[in-house]
Chains A and B, each alone.
Chain A
Amino acid sequence: MKQLSFVSWVGIGLLVIHVVMALAAPWIAPYSPTAIDATQAMQPPSLLHWGGTDRFGRDIFSRVIYGGQIALVISLTSAAVAVIGGGLIGVYVAYIGGIVDDVIMRCIDALISIPSVLLLLVIVTTFGAGNGVMIAAMVLSYLPSVVRVMRATALEYIPRDFIYAARMRGEQTIDVVWNELWPNILDVLFVEFAMNASWIVLAVSGLSFLGFGVNPPTPDWGLMVNENRAMLLLAPWGILYPMGAVATLVIGLNLVSDTIAHAFGIDRSRGMPI
């Protein structure tokens, strides 16, 4: 294994910090994220309130920590579903080819042609803004591009002789897709996962900011930015902390995705498995 670069360690570190904060939120957070204390409203950061408080006196730092739970759960779950589902569809249609390939890929084209924010808004306004709906909406808007990428990756392997060998053995389609093709595209799949996860983090906070995402008073970074927007000049900490959280998570995911791509790039040229 090649030595990881400094930048890679920064990415991994950021991601680990976010995951630990989200998992250990009840023990780390000094206050309840939803506890209102009118006497402590709009406090600047202090030893008592590390991140200051908002206009209801809620502790910003605690809310940022709890907000990470939602962001991570939604982004990682929907990225995983989008990438695995999109990967399977992409590899399958690439291998089958013909009319099935044509029909499915034109549907994918149609989905890609709809702006993703519009699609998200339509789904969320129609079905309400639960976590499940959010995940479904994210999967639907990010899966099509994964299908395209994974189809193209699989097409690189399909004309290879080992696929012909499998066909001549009389392997079922599912066996060829799962045994022969899937292990070869895993590296690209991991990169796609990390990239999509970072986009989804942004999309989730974007939706909440617009007021279509998580319902108040549930702590969410996008929602916090929206709520504290009015007090930007009086209490800038209400915005800076959640913004910093979103930025570090997205940067962390991107750097990790670069690291994965780099690591696989080297392994790829040697043809070595993971």
Chain B
Amino acid sequence: MSVPVLEVDHLTVGFQRADASIVYAVHEVSLRLMPGERLGIVGESGCGKSTLSLALLGYIRGNGSRMQGTVRSRGVDIFAMTDRERQKVRGGEVALVPQNAGQALAPHLMVGAQIGDVLATHCDMTGQQAQLKIRQLLHDMRFVDPDQIAMRYPHQLSGGQQQRIALAMALAGAPDVLVLDEPTTGLDVTTQAQLLQLLDEITRNTQMTTVIVSHDLGVIARVASRVIVMYAGEVVEDGMVPHVFSQPRHPYTRGLIAALPQLDLPVLPTPMVGQLGYDNTYQRCTFAPRCAFAQQICTTPPPLTMIEVNHRVRCHRWDEIPPQGQPVVAGDTVAMTDAPPATEPVLEIKNIYATYHRRTWRSWWRDDGVDVVRDVQIQLMAGQTCALVGESGSGKSTLARVVMGLHPPRRGEIRLFGVPLPSDVDRRSVAARRHIQLVFQNPDSSLNPRHTIAEILHRPQFVFFGRSRAQSGVYSRDMLQNVRMDEAYLTRYPSQLSGGEKQRVAIARAFLAEPAVVVCDEVISALDVSVQAAVLHLLVDMQHKLQTAYLFIAHDLAVVRAIAQYVVVLYAGQVCEYGPAETVFSAPFHPYTAMLMAAVLSIHSTTSPDRVAHRIDVVDDSVHGCPFVARCPVAIVGVCATTPPPWQIADNGHAVRCHHSRDVLGANPHPQSGNSTTV
């Protein structure tokens, strides 16, 4: 047991930049993987974690190269091998589950055949024998009907299913080490919970050595036993998961943990200052520019010090910084203030039904669309944040499009200050368009890549207020200060900005219209953990200043807990629970809300989340009862499927739509399968 399966020794990987300078994505990293060890690698995007994980397979992307060091599998240096030898190692000894399985699978091959390719290459297995093995692998991946799944093409599978196929392919070669690069990024919370459950079981049962790379500390806490934290290509902290997450020693680890919103705390997480920067010389602490505790000594490079058994930290001052229960970095924790007293609603969403038509010639006279939003009502108050929560496909984004006038609803209306709005944005008045602004999920696509920031900020001011460039420049500079950017950014292009900066520009653009309502569509989910908290702070600040109402669309309940005063839970286009945030986040829960909450990963509890029922993508339109019935662990046979559930509204404004009484739902906050199912 004492021989490492994979050994990385002083590995340095450099990438050549356009100006011929070299940036080190991995710098002097050494690590040993013992059999059965489950290692997590965590850090912001650009910290080198993906490069390191690919180097474990002897692969370096694009214009990068290994500057020094070795990666030894079974004692042999992978980089010194011939291509043919390395091919045997990849997939046979070290296997990769790529980040985006949907793009990694060959679109023209049935998934069974793709697994068969791995078997033929690494196990010399073909024909009947391979068929049996494929079936076995798919069965292990919890596919109910392996033979049927094997005959499908990748596009016929959901994201979670594709990820499981990728996992099956990686396991097919019976590797010593399994490397997973961001295995759950882009998946729904509930799908993520299922996949992690599966991964946990497989790696535990087979004692497989696993390396899991993720930016999400919760994922690491769920699956890994040991974690290394990377910053600017270096390992800054290395230790056992419970230890590192409860008593982080490096200021960067502390910052990452503090930036994490938590489901049980209605406070904004603490943002981390600055952004990831590379210092090629490594002549000082790379984190020092962002560190709240940096001193004179930090201008010399800190060694990776063993501070106790199985815990190493790269910091000069690890023992001088006071250990705290709640880690703190620069900036202070802001408690959420109470919402102002409710007055007249700013925006009313009244009984909205929305449909996507299948575009066929028949749809000219036949209404054969399926409602993706059904009878949704929401009122937005000035200065308040109303969160709209649900999985992907629940109709959140469609509702946002209806509000913005991009998707005419089938029925219902949107009222702004009590006045009904035309359903099409082209027919809305300038004032109506100005008062409802949208901040998109992905700042990469919401800013025109060929416009300077000045132009991006000028355009809405010209359209809404008729300001000239000179006039708008004054307001733009002012607004940039509000979003904590300086005016030097005005002449830059979006590609010269980081993700967080781009999102700030998008927020600035929305607020320059002086809106009454801002719809935030998953505004922080595309951002790094360290930046998410800063953007949340910014949104709350702007709201306090301008009394803007937010419709905050999110799938992450921990984020919602941090920012929202009011929560609406959407399932399959229907509202299943709503109320003030504190009532939604305490019992009684709708079974679906309970499931969403159970799927939220916490870094502090290493206990596995409760079993999350499989998601079913097709909503059977013939069911007249509760849309959640097929996944509900407490469904009442004969009732839930046939009768629409009633609204149960409490005095505190909390409403649940379920056949179970509030008492039953309250007593059973985390429903387990079979608890109260009547047969």
- The answer to whether A168 touches B405 (Cβ under 8 A) is yes
Q: Min CB distance, B152 to chain A, in Å?
A: 27
- The answer to whether A168 touches B433 (Cβ under 8 A) is yes
- The answer to whether B425 touches A168 (Cβ under 8 A) is yes
Output the residue of A162, A166, A272 with the most chain B CB within 10 A. Answer: A162
Q: Min CB distance, B504 to chain A, in Å?
A: 15
Q: List the A side residues contacting B442 at CB < 8 Å.
A: 161
Give the residues from 471 to 526 in chain B that come closer than 8 angstroms, CB to CB, to chain A: 493-495, 509
- The answer to whether A162 touches B428 (Cβ under 8 A) is no
Complex-state Cα separation, A186 to B494, whole angstroms: 18
- The answer to whether B448 touches A184 (Cβ under 8 A) is yes
Complex-state Cα separation, A98 to B437, whole angstroms: 27
- The answer to whether A162 touches B493 (Cβ under 8 A) is no
- The answer to whether B463 touches A169 (Cβ under 8 A) is yes
Complex-state Cα separation, A164 to B494, whole angstroms: 17
Contacts A165-B438, A165-B440, A167-B425 hold; do A180 and B448 have CB atoms under 8 A apart? yes
Q: List the A side residues contacting B459 at CB < 8 Å.
A: 166, 169, 171, 179
Contacts A169-B463, A273-B493 hold; do A183 and B448 have CB atoms under 8 A apart? yes
Complex-state Cα separation, A65 to B405, whole angstroms: 61
Q: List the A side residues contacting B451 at CB < 8 Å.
A: 183
Q: Min CB distance, A63 to chain B, in Å?
A: 45
- The answer to whether A169 touches B460 (Cβ under 8 A) is yes
- The answer to whether B449 touches A161 (Cβ under 8 A) is no
Complex-state Cα separation, A186 to B451, whole angstroms: 13
Contacts A161-B442, A165-B440, A165-B446 hold; do A171 and B406 have CB atoms under 8 A apart? no
Complex-state Cα separation, A164 to B448, whole angstroms: 11
Query: Please, what's the 1-or-0 string for A259-274, where 1 marks a CB less than 8 Å from any CB in chain B?
Result: 0000000000011110
Q: List the A side residues contacting B509 at CB < 8 Å.
A: 165
- The answer to whether A162 touches B445 (Cβ under 8 A) is yes
Q: List the A side residues contacting B83 at CB < 8 Å.
A: none
- Is B450 positioned at the interface, with any CB of A under 8 Å from its CB? yes
- Is B18 positioned at the interface, with any CB of A under 8 Å from its CB? yes
Q: List the A side residues contacting B445 at CB < 8 Å.
A: 160-162
Q: List the B side residues contacting A166 at CB < 8 Å.
A: 459
Q: List the B side residues contacting A272 at CB < 8 Å.
A: 493, 495
- Is A115 positioned at the interface, with any CB of B under 8 Å from its CB? no
- The answer to whether B494 touches A170 (Cβ under 8 A) is no
Q: Min CB distance, B291 to chain A, in Å?
A: 31
Query: Please, what's the 1-or-0 string for A145-163, where 1 marks a CB less than 8 Å from any CB in chain B?
Result: 0000000000000001110
- The answer to whether B495 touches A170 (Cβ under 8 A) is no
- The answer to whether B426 touches A271 (Cβ under 8 A) is no
- The answer to whether A271 touches B406 (Cβ under 8 A) is no
- The answer to whether B404 touches A168 (Cβ under 8 A) is yes
Q: List the B side residues contacting A170 at CB < 8 Å.
A: 425-426, 428, 430, 433, 463
The chain B residue sitting closest to A171, CB to CB, is B463
- Is B447 positioned at the interface, with any CB of A under 8 Å from its CB? yes
- Is A106 positioned at the interface, with any CB of B under 8 Å from its CB? no
- Is B143 positioned at the interface, with any CB of A under 8 Å from its CB? no
- Is B464 positioned at the interface, with any CB of A under 8 Å from its CB? yes
Output the residue of A167, A169, A171, A184 with the most chain B CB within 10 A. Answer: A169
Complex-state Cα separation, A184 to B406, whole angstroms: 23
Q: List the A side residues contacting B405 at CB < 8 Å.
A: 168
Complex-state Cα separation, A14 to B340, whole angstroms: 73
Complex-state Cα separation, A167 to B451, whole angstroms: 16
Q: Min CB distance, A150 to chain B, in Å?
A: 16
The chain A residue sitting closest to B437, CB to CB, is A168
Give the residues from 1 to 19 in chain A that come closer than 8 angstroms, CB to CB, to chain B: 2
Q: List the A side residues contacting B446 at CB < 8 Å.
A: 160-162, 165
Give the residues from 80 to 101 in chain A that come closer than 8 angstroms, CB to CB, to chain B: none
Contacts A2-B18, A271-B494 hold; do A169 and B440 have CB atoms under 8 A apart? no
Query: Please, what's the 1-or-0 string for B410-451, where 1 marks a CB less than 8 Å from any CB in chain A?
Result: 000000000000000110101001000110101001111111
Q: List the B side residues contacting A273 at CB < 8 Å.
A: 449-450, 493
Complex-state Cα separation, A171 to B459, whole angstroms: 9
Q: List the B side residues contacting A168 at CB < 8 Å.
A: 404-406, 425, 433, 437-438
Q: List the B side residues contacting A184 at CB < 8 Å.
A: 448-450
The chain A residue sitting closest to B443, CB to CB, is A161
The chain B residue sitting closest to A268, CB to CB, is B449
The chain B residue sitting closest to A169, CB to CB, is B463
Complex-state Cα separation, A51 to B514, whole angstroms: 73
Output the residue of B459, B493, B494 with the most chain A CB within 10 A. Answer: B459
Q: Min CB distance, A187 to chain B, in Å?
A: 10
Complex-state Cα separation, A145 to B442, whole angstroms: 33
Q: Min CB distance, B496 to chain A, in Å?
A: 8
Q: List the A side residues contacting B437 at CB < 8 Å.
A: 168
Complex-state Cα separation, A270 to B450, whole angstroms: 11
Q: Name A162's contact: one of B406, B448, B463 (CB within 8 Å).
A: B448
Complex-state Cα separation, A270 to B493, whole angstroms: 10
Query: Please, what's the 1-or-0 string for B610-653, where 1 marks a CB less than 8 Å from any CB in chain A?
Result: 00000000000000000000000000000000000000000000
The chain B residue sitting closest to A186, CB to CB, is B450
- The answer to whether B450 touches A183 (Cβ under 8 A) is yes
Complex-state Cα separation, A202 to B538, whole angstroms: 60
Q: Min CB distance, B507 to chain A, in Å?
A: 13
The chain A residue sitting closest to B519, CB to CB, is A168
Q: List the B side residues contacting A270 at CB < 8 Å.
A: 495
Contacts A179-B459, A184-B449 hold; do A167 and B495 have CB atoms under 8 A apart? no
The chain A residue sitting closest to B521, CB to CB, is A161
The chain B residue sitting closest to A267, CB to CB, is B495
Q: List the A side residues contacting B438 at CB < 8 Å.
A: 164-165, 168
Give the residues from 147 to 181 in chain B that come closer than 8 angstroms, CB to CB, to chain A: none
Complex-state Cα separation, A65 to B96, whole angstroms: 63
- The answer to whether B464 touches A169 (Cβ under 8 A) is yes
Q: List the A side residues contacting B425 at CB < 8 Å.
A: 167-168, 170
The chain A residue sitting closest to B460, CB to CB, is A169
Complex-state Cα separation, A183 to B448, whole angstroms: 9
Q: Min CB distance, B146 to chain A, in Å?
A: 36
The chain B residue sitting closest to A181, CB to CB, is B448
The chain B residue sitting closest to A162, CB to CB, is B448
Q: List the A side residues contacting B464 at CB < 8 Å.
A: 169
Complex-state Cα separation, A103 to B403, whole angstroms: 32
- The answer to whether A271 touches B440 (Cβ under 8 A) is no
Complex-state Cα separation, A186 to B448, whole angstroms: 14
Q: Min CB distance, B464 to chain A, in Å?
A: 7
Complex-state Cα separation, A165 to B507, whole angstroms: 12
The chain A residue sitting closest to B430, CB to CB, is A170
Complex-state Cα separation, A79 to B59, whole angstroms: 46
Q: List the A side residues contacting B430 at CB < 8 Å.
A: 170
Q: List the B side residues contacting A171 at CB < 8 Å.
A: 459, 463
Q: List the B side residues contacting A167 at CB < 8 Å.
A: 406, 425-426
The chain A residue sitting closest to B432, CB to CB, is A170
Complex-state Cα separation, A200 to B463, whole angstroms: 42
Q: List the A side residues contacting B494 at CB < 8 Å.
A: 271
Complex-state Cα separation, A49 to B300, whole angstroms: 77
- The answer to whether B433 touches A271 (Cβ under 8 A) is no
Complex-state Cα separation, A274 to B483, whole angstroms: 29
Complex-state Cα separation, A139 to B655, whole angstroms: 67
Q: List the B side residues contacting A180 at CB < 8 Å.
A: 448
Output the residue of B405, B430, B460 with the most chain A CB within 10 A. Answer: B460
The chain A residue sitting closest to B496, CB to CB, is A272
Complex-state Cα separation, A165 to B438, whole angstroms: 8
Q: Min CB distance, A122 to chain B, in Å?
A: 37
Contacts A164-B406, A170-B433 hold; do A271 and B428 have CB atoms under 8 A apart? no
Task: For the complex of A and B, list the 9 residue pairs with the smallest distance between their C-beta atoms, beginning with the closest.
Answer: A271-B495, A183-B450, A161-B446, A271-B449, A161-B440, A160-B445, A161-B445, A162-B448, A169-B463
**Would you give 20 A-B contacts (Cβ < 8 Å), ordered by A?**
A2-B18, A161-B440, A161-B442, A161-B445, A164-B438, A165-B509, A166-B459, A167-B425, A168-B404, A168-B438, A169-B460, A170-B425, A183-B450, A183-B451, A184-B449, A184-B450, A186-B450, A271-B494, A273-B449, A273-B493
Using A164-B440, A167-B425 as known contacts, list a sample of 9 further A-B pairs with CB atoms less than 8 Å apart, ordered by residue number in A.
A2-B18, A160-B446, A161-B442, A161-B446, A168-B425, A169-B433, A184-B448, A184-B450, A273-B493
Interface residues of A (CB under 8 A from B): 2, 160-162, 164-171, 179-180, 183-184, 186, 270-273
